[in-house]
Chains A and B, each alone.
Chain A
Amino acid sequence: MELTDKIFKFFGGIKPNGHKAISTINPIKRLPIPKKLIIPVRQHVGKVPNIKVSVGDKVLKGQILAEPIANISAATHSSSSGTVVAIESNKIPHPSGLPDICIAIETDGKDEWIKRNRIDPSNLSSEALYEKMKSSGIVGLGGATFPTHIKLNSNKIKTLIVNAAECEPYITCDDMAMQEKTKEFIEGIQITMDILKIPHAIIGIEDNKPKAIEKLKTVLNKSKNISIKVVPTVYPSGDEKRLIYLMLGLKISKEKRPVDFGIQVFNVATLISIGRFFYHSEPVISRIVTVTGALKRPNNYEALIGTPIQELIKDAGGKSDQEIIMGGPMMGFKLPHTDVSVTKAMNCLLAITDEMKSKDTFEMPCIRCTKCVEVCPAQLQPQELYWHAKSKQFEKLTEDYKLFDCIECGCCSYVCPSNIPLVQYYRYAKSEIRDQLKSSEVADIARERNEFRLYRLEREKKERAERNAQRRAQTSDSDKKKLIEEKKAAIAEAMKRIEEKEK
């Protein structure tokens, strides 16, 4: 891949008010260790890990609570020392509002670490490294929470892109992390490059973060293998494929993954975690959360995983009954319950503002004004997607209009003068299509079985017929005569018996 200084501006996108300054006034804050940590066992995409502790166990900070059982899975660790007091179903920050298994730990306030050693990836075989990473609990901390060890287990990577765009309004956790944890960030990039055995990395960062850019430029002054590309502030430049295009001028559709082009993208927070894991043997036990919106003192917090979010909201000057969005205002979702705890995916807690509450929601018919087309970064036809989703023409949606290339960034809904909740229509259509696909797969299996059964019966019938024919062919003429004679004799005998009886 040619590396150039050129920025490849992608089509569409929007420029909403950033509201980022409000949460960057003060440095990242740490709260005292909470009395109780509620740690969901699964905080990643993939299989539920196997719980390794039981109620009453003493646990140390950084100790594994649950171990991955499959490749696509990740470990969960204790964020402080204390006692396991419950392993039970609990509320978790998920749009469905459904509970999941959580481990509750009563902290002892000592914050005692397990024994830690520095891990040198150069001394490890790739298998050992993979296993080590699997136990790190590191997942995509930008919010996708895909297990990171899988993304690092590739020898096809040539370019590492650091996603420091942070394009969602309000969110500033990566910005603040780059400013305050610059060294750890660079270490993380360096070690990731070592693991992937590649010489170069590019940091993609939006130009609304001048302090972070300046800090990085001074630190990276002499570095030739890590470069910075400052990109214009256009939402959604932080979308993986949009960022790749901005950096390299390469457009990747839904049908391909960045790995197919030798590109891997990591988020700032993820890289810091990778650095911490190898330099300090520290698994993911905390993350930086932006707590912002309609609060008195918006701020960034380095919060232990499992910290009740109410502690953060209270410290930021909020009330316990405030409605909270997890994530940014564009792609985040409203928390069904606000008595949940911090998870690995939680990059932002956004207290809903009056502006958001007063949003006009009366849905008018689409007038085909194509404002949505002008902003769609995937270059889709949102008004056609809407039309076909509404009329359930699913085949057209996937084949002609590439519904699954939609990244649900919400630009179309943001500009729609008819207030149509377009993203919700697309999510509905996507889940319907997935369901149909699943049920048609089940039907396919049943059909295949039935076809095989019919084939088998047919085959058996044929085999039987062949066997009979063979037998008939093998018996000679004399044998046949003998057989006929015997049968005739038997019949004659039977006739005789009947005659005798009648007499």
Chain B
Amino acid sequence: MAMIDSPAIKERSTVNMIMFTVILGLLPALFLQIGFFGYQILGNLFFGIGFALFLEAVCLKLRNYPIRPFILDGSAFVTAWLLIISVPANIPIWTLLIGIFFSIVVAKHAYGGIGSNPFNPAMIGYAVLLISFPKIMTNWPISDGFEIRNFIQFSQFFSISNINEAYDAIVSATPLDQIKTSLFLGKEVDVLPISFSTLSSYQMIAILYFLGGLFLVYKKVITWHLPLSLILSVYIFSGLLHLYDQNTYMSPTFHLLNGATFLAAFFIITDPVSSPTTLKGKIIFGILIGLITVIIRNYGGYPDGIAFAVIFMNICVPLIEKFTQPKVFGYE
């Protein structure tokens, strides 16, 4: 006899459908990434996600949870994916696996598994790697441009970088990093006017994250509150600095297109578990992450501060929620 609790009918929606939609939103950017850099990113995704699912299964087993439904919820898959696309594609695989371990085992399961993690697991993994391996984490591969042949060089899939290769490969610091260095050296920064022809590979990928994010809003997986407040916040705060001194502070458009601004706005800070549930709370959360990011980028020790901003604001979520509880019907 079937158990029928009221309501007897249910909309077709499951956690893994949400996660699947998130992955769909990330696919266009992946395509572009392969075109620019080759299959290395796919190898990272394959081994990284495989390791994440393995760790997830081990943790579930140790915690006496049914493995199948929880593996299939897709959350470990998405966490690993987000971490992998946040780090340079030429990262040595062992480094990546350390990050995955911290994301899945420490940030997620040690805190009670899906639904209970106070911090964004992908950002914990990222922060651990950035603090532990700053050199690896700030050397990004350079692209020769979007090449069709990148799609047929399958051998790259298995080209696992070791530590020396990571240094020897053609790498460069990100624009955010270059700016930071020049500022430290007291140089004035050259600001290239941003137009389509001057967009770097990373900026184009960022634009695809933006479009993929709009797809998530359209599919109602996320609401506009978090991404819009973060993007506007980064734009306004970096804009104010830019107005104050154009030679020292980059333009707001530069800040939106570089670093992880769009990726974070639509895919990272929208992790429902570690972000506020109230609408006002979401807006406050987004604005403050934007503000902290701009501060770290311009005054902090790291080129991109979004991961730290997210983790810091994760701590504040209960407080934000406490003060932004909406009024109940009839009590307004």
Q: Once the chains bind, are B325 and A362 in contact (CB under 8 Å)?
A: no
- A471: CB under 8 A from chain B? no
Q: Which residues of A contact B193 (CB under 8 A)?
A: none
Bound-complex Cα distance A245 to B75 (A):
40
User: How many angstroms between the C-alpha atoms of A362 and B70 in the bound complex?
Assistant: 11
Would you call B7 and A364 a contact (CB within 8 A)?
A: no
Residues of B near A279 (CB, < 8 A) are none
A40 to chain B, nearest CB (A): 22
B190 within 8 A of A: no
Contact at A332–B11, with CB atoms within 8 Å?
Answer: no
Q: Which of A327-365 contact B (CB under 8 A)?
A: 329-334, 350, 352, 355-357, 359-362, 364-365
User: Shortest distance in angstroms between B98's beta carbon and chain A's nearest beta carbon?
Assistant: 26
A400, B325: Cβ atoms under 8 Å? yes
Interface-centre pick from B8, B327, B328, B330 (highest chain A CB count, 10 A) = B8
Scan residues 6-26 of chain A and give those whose CB is less than 8 A from a CB of chain B.
Answer: 10-11, 14, 16
Task: Give the residue of B8, B15, B70, B328 whose beta carbon is less than 8 angstroms from that of A402.
Answer: B328
Q: What A residues does B69 contact at CB under 8 A?
A: 362, 364
Complex contact B4–A325 (CB within 8 A):
yes
0/1 string, B1-32, CB within 8 A of A gives 1? 11111111111011101100000000000000
* A364, B4: Cα distance in complex, Å: 17
Given A323-B1, A417-B13, A417-B18, is A352 in contact with B8 using a C-beta cutoff of 8 Å? yes
Known: A323-B4, A370-B272, A418-B15. A413 touches B328 (CB 8 A): no
Q: Which residues of chain A come closer than 8 Å to B278, judged between CB atoms?
A: 381
Q: Could you tell me the distance between the alpha carbons of A408 and B5 in the complex, rounded to whole angstroms?
A: 12
Which of the 9-residue segments B111-119, B232-240, B242-250 touches chain A?
B111-119
We find that the number of chain A residues with CB closer than 8 angstroms to chain B is 61
Closest to B328 in A: A402
Contact B1 A417 (CB under 8 A): no
Contact of A381 among B15, B18, B277 (CB under 8 A): B277
The CA of A421 and the CA of B5, in the complex, are separated in Å by 7
A331 touches B328 (CB 8 A): no
Q: A168's closest neighbor in chain B, by CB? A: B7
Stretch in A52-60, A252-260, A430-438, A442-450 touching the partner: A252-260
Residue of B nearest to A242 (CB): B329
Report how far A423 CA is from B10 CA in the complex, Å: 13
20 contacts between A and B (CB under 8 A): A169-B9, A251-B332, A253-B330, A254-B330, A325-B8, A330-B8, A332-B8, A350-B8, A356-B4, A356-B8, A364-B73, A368-B277, A369-B18, A377-B329, A381-B325, A384-B277, A416-B10, A417-B17, A418-B14, A424-B5
From A368, A402, A423, give the contact of B6 (CB < 8 A). Answer: A423
Cα A365 to Cα B4 with chains together (Å)? 20
Total A-B pairs, Cβ < 8 A: 139
Residues of the A chain whose Cβ atoms lie less than 8 Å from the Cβ of B323: none
Neighbour of B272 across the interface among A252, A368, A402, A410, CB < 8 A: A368
- Indicate the member of A400, A416, A417 with the most B CB atoms within 10 Å: A417
Which A residues lie within 8 Å of B326 (CB)? 379, 381
In the assembled complex, the Cα of A424 lies from the Cα of B3 at a distance in Å of 13
A368 to chain B minimum Cβ distance, whole angstroms, is 5
CB-defined interface of B253-283 with A at 8 Å, one 1/0 digit per residue?
0000000000000000000110001100000
**Contact B11–A16 (Cβ < 8 Å):** yes
Contact: B8 with A366, CB < 8 Å? no
B331 on the A face (CB < 8 A): yes
- Of all chain A residues, the one with the shortest Cβ separation from B116 is A365
**B-side contacts of A378, CB under 8 Å:** 328-329
B residues less than 8 Å from A383 (CB atoms) = 277
Q: Is A373 an interface residue (CB 8 A)?
A: yes
User: Which residues from A are CB-within-8-Å of B327?
Assistant: 379
Measured in the bound complex, the distance between the Cα atoms of B332 and A196 in whole Å is 30
**A405, CB-defined interface residue at 8 Å:** yes
Task: Say if the beta carbon of A130 comes within 8 Å of chain B.
Answer: no
**A200 within 8 A of partner (CB):** no
Closest to A169 in B: B9
Q: Contacts A405-B329, A423-B5: A360 and B14 contacting too (C-beta < 8 A)?
A: yes
Find chain A residues with CB under 8 A from B2 CB: 323, 352, 356-357, 359
State the 8 A-B residue pairs at the shortest beta-carbon distance, nearest first: A253-B330, A365-B115, A410-B7, A329-B8, A379-B329, A357-B2, A330-B7, A251-B330
Minimal beta-carbon separation of B260 from chain A (angstroms): 23
Nearest-neighbour CB distance to chain B for A354, whole angstroms, equals 10
The answer to whether A14 touches B114 (Cβ under 8 A) is no
